[in-house]
Amino acid sequence: MAINAPQLFLLAYDIADPKRLQQVHRCVRAVGIPVQYSVFLIPGLPRDIDALLAELDAIIEASRDDIRVYPLPKRLDVIRYGRQHMPIGLDLIQGADLQEAFLSIVGAPPPGGGPD
């Protein structure tokens, strides 16, 4: 995928301190959709994720906390077990185009999705 093409990322975190956890949650919630506790779907460009990680780096304690980001393919098979708690309006359908699913939820292009 081109470095300046918008895509979706999965961000997960494990934060040891409740105060830092709250700060990280607020920061990530501002740009992503929660899909599970401490797991978010985030649209954007790789540089958007780099900027988010720089912001989070100022909050976390690297020796105690963990943040992971996984770029997602445009088409993704999702396998779910157990409770099916997804945010209202978000339903990931097997083989669905994640970019289109995101646009149907927010009704606008993801950050960085417009012309440079």
Give the strands of the sheet with 66-72, arranged side by side: 33-36, 39-44, 7-14, 66-72
Q: Is 65 annotated as a binding residue?
A: no
- The SS3 assignment for 17 reads coil
| Annotated binding-site positions | 14
| Annotated binding-site positions for Mg(2+) | 14
